[in-house]
């Protein structure tokens, strides 16, 4: 039911004809010059984006989500070039402020920003004045005073990026807050699923999310995007790790979205098109939620045998980092149906897209590319 190969739309876009060619400005740097010739880049949709921040997916309309995915396809075209760099955010200050550990999100935001030629600064809270007692608000104000116009923040407290957004003059992107939200992960997950489904429509597909729902910001953000896309979303895990979801499931999230909550793993996996395993978050786990990891693995671990309940070729996903042998068997994680490394790679295109769109959001200051001869994102020019 699901093909082994991504759709070809990206390649068509990336090889668009010479009618989209523009003049290169004098003095463009060589790395950007190659990318400036990229028709895919100039075809990036801009000007329809109105959000100043990206704090969760719940405030995104389907048109917003489509715009991000469409822009990410263009960015994938840029990434396929020998020099995957464009000057759109040249000179644009961006700070990555992480109060929690991260590999994928932190690195892919940095790579995305550098591909857009932004000036990137990384701050690990443990190595900053936060360790001397500086408040989040003071830190955010300091970062702004030092020139940042984009702030990517990860924080263990749910809601912290919302507080940062109240005190930061530029754009705030949530890189994951507590157990609340992880919007770019949800967007890259949807992008990955769409790229693998013939025709690119998720509508009516059964997407199963299995694991530690209670602590999962990834699942919460995915519920909005996947149900908005028309997926039939099932969440599954021990009842102690589903708290709060039953009420949400009974309400249907919002309107007539398709959302089922169950502890019956076989029912969840039966005829699934996509199976996403979630990490058991030991660092957030209070006592008494699970008897043991071994028992969890025995009852809810995603194994090759259990995957036989799903449709042949069903996609296997995991946002990472994985506890292999607990929520997912190593052979399933590395198997032919796994798109886990594609999720990571697609994170760069999605983050390039959201940085590009946010930086061009109306009324919040334009990116720099006037100097490079490219219309600023948000200017309405293509
Ligand atoms: N998926 C995810 O957020 O991974 P990291 O913690 O490595 O960023």
Q: Which residues line ligand 1 (CB under 6 A)?
A: 102-105, 176, 182, 185, 319-321
| CA nearest to 224, candidates 189, 251, 188, 253 | 253
Same domain for 362 and 324: no
3-state DSSP of 187-247 = HHHHHHHHHHCHHHCCCCCEEEEECCCCCCHHHHHHHHHHHHCCCEEEEECCHHHCCCHHH
Same domain for 147 and 243: no
Percent residues over pLDDT 70 in the chain: 80
Residue 254 main-chain phi, psi, to 5 deg: -165, 130
Q: Return the residue whose CA atom lies nearest to atom 6 of ligand 1.
A: 102
Same domain for 363 and 280: no
Same domain for 315 and 293: yes
- Does a structural domain hold residue 192? yes
- Does a structural domain hold residue 270? yes
- Does a structural domain hold residue 375? no
Average pLDDT across the chain, whole number: 83
CB atoms within 10 A of CB 381: 11
Predicted pLDDT of residue 290: 83
pLDDT band at 30 (very low <50, low <70, confident <90, very high): very low
Is the pLDDT at 252 greater than 90? The verdict is no
Same domain for 327 and 256: yes
What Å distances lie between residue 236 and 95, 117, 227, 256, 266, CA to CA? 36, 42, 16, 20, 10
Q: Which domain holds residue 133?
A: 30-181+346-367
Q: Is 24 exposed, middle or buried (0-12, 13-18, 19+ CB in 10 A)?
A: middle
Same domain for 174 and 207: no
- Does a structural domain hold residue 13? no
The pLDDT of 97-124, averaged and rounded, is 96
CA of 175 to the centre of ligand 1 (A): 9
The enclosing domain of 130 has a CATH number of: 3.40.50.1370
Tell me how far apart the alpha carbons of residues 190 and 192 are, in angstroms, rounded to a whole number.
Answer: 5
The count of domains in the chain is 2
Beta partners for residue 275, in sequence order: 208, 316
User: Which of the two residues, 261 and 287, has the higher pLDDT score?
Assistant: 261
CB atoms within 10 A of CB 29: 12
- Does a structural domain hold residue 374? no
The pLDDT of 252-259, averaged and rounded, is 73
The pLDDT of 245-270, averaged and rounded, is 84
Is the pLDDT at 31 greater than 90? The verdict is no
DSSP-derived letter for residue 302 is B
Percent residues over pLDDT 90 in the chain: 70
User: Which of the two residues, 325 and 38, has the higher pLDDT score?
Assistant: 325
Q: Which SS3 state, helix, strand or coil, does residue 312 take?
A: coil
Same domain for 139 and 81: yes
| CA nearest to 333, candidates 292, 275, 294 | 275
- Does a structural domain hold residue 136? yes
- Could you tell me the sign of the dihedral formed by the alpha carbons of 268, 320, 116, 113, in that order? positive
- Does a structural domain hold residue 278? yes
Is the pLDDT at 29 greater than 50? The verdict is no
Same domain for 307 and 201: yes
Q: Return the residue whose CA atom lies nearest to atom 4 of ligand 1.
A: 104
The pLDDT of 244-268, averaged and rounded, is 83
- Could you tell me the sign of the dihedral formed by the alpha carbons of 148, 151, 156, 157, in that order? positive
Predicted pLDDT of residue 257: 85
Q: Which of 96, 105, 108, 277 to mutate to test the pocket of ligand 1 (most atoms within 8 A of CB)?
A: 105
CA of 322 to the centre of ligand 1 (A): 10
Same domain for 158 and 266: no
The pTM of the full predicted model, rounded to 2 decimals, is 0.84
pLDDT band at 255 (very low <50, low <70, confident <90, very high): low
| CA nearest to 301, candidates 285, 283, 324 | 324
- Does a structural domain hold residue 289? yes
Q: Return the residue whose CA atom lies nearest to atom 3 of ligand 1.
A: 105
Is the pLDDT at 33 greater than 50? The verdict is no
Residue 1: its H or E element = none
Is the pLDDT at 216 greater than 60? The verdict is yes
pLDDT band at 150 (very low <50, low <70, confident <90, very high): very high
- Beta-carbon contacts of 297 under 8 Å, excluding residues fewer than 6 positions away, are 325, 326, 327
Is the pLDDT at 355 greater than 80? The verdict is yes
Cis peptide before 223 (omega within 30 of 0): no
Is the pLDDT at 368 greater than 80? The verdict is no
Same domain for 332 and 216: yes
Same domain for 79 and 211: no
Is the pLDDT at 7 greater than 50? The verdict is no
Predicted pLDDT of residue 225: 97
Same domain for 222 and 108: no
The pLDDT of 168-179, averaged and rounded, is 97
CA of 99 to the centre of ligand 1 (A): 13
The pLDDT of 166-173, averaged and rounded, is 97
Is the pLDDT at 44 greater than 80? The verdict is no
Q: Which of 209, 317, 320, 328 to mutate to test the pocket of ligand 1 (most atoms within 8 A of CB)?
A: 320
Q: Strands, E, within 239-331: which ranges?
A: 258-262, 274-277, 315-317
| Contact status, residue 232 vs residue 258, Cβ threshold 8 Å | yes
């Amino acid at each position: 039911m699901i093909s082994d190969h991504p759709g070809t739309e990206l390649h068509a876009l990336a090889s668009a004809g010479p009618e989209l060619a523009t003049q290169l400005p004098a003095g463009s740097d060589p790395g950007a010059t190659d990318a400036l010739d990229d028709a895919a880049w100039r075809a990036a949709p801009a000007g329809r984006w109105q959000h100043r921040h990206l704090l969760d997916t719940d405030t995104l309309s389907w048109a917003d989500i489509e715009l991000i995915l469409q822009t990410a396809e263009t960015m994938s075209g840029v990434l396929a070039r020998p020099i995957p760099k464009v000057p759109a955010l040249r000179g644009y200050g961006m700070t990555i402020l992480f109060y929690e550990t991260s590999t994928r999100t932190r690195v892919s935001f940095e790579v995305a920003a550098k591909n857009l030629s932004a000036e990137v600064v990384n701050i690990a809270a443990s190595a900053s004045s936060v360790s001397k007692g500086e408040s989040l608000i003071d830190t955010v104000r300091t970062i702004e005073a030092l020139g940042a116009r984009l702030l990517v923040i990860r924080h263990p407290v749910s809601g912290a990026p919302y507080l940062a957004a109240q005190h930061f003059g530029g754009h705030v992107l949530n890189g994951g807050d507590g157990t609340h939200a992880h919007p770019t992960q949800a967007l890259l997950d949807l992008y990955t699923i769409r790229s693998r489904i013939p025709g690119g429509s998720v509508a009516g597909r059964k997407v199963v999310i299995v694991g530690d729902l209670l602590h999962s910001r990834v699942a919460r953000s995915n519920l909005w995007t996947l149900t908005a896309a028309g997926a039939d979303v099932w969440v599954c895990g021990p009842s102690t790790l589903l708290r709060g979801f039953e009420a949400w499931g009974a309400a249907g999230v919002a309107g007539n979205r398709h959302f089922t909550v169950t502890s019956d793993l076989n029912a969840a996996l039966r005829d699934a098109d996509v199976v996403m395993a979630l990490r058991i978050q030991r660092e957030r786990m209070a006592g008494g939620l699970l008897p043991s990891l071994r028992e969890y693995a025995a009852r809810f671990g995603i194994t090759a045998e259990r995957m036989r309940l799903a449709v042949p070729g069903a996609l296997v996903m995991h946002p990472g980092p994985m506890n292999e042998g607990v929520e997912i068997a190593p052979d399933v994680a590395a198997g032919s149906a796994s798109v886990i490394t594609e999720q990571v790679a697609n994170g760069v295109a999605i983050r390039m897209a959201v940085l590009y769109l946010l930086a061009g959001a109306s009324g919040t200051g334009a990116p720099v590319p006037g100097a490079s001869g490219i219309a600023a994102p948000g200017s309405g020019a293509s």
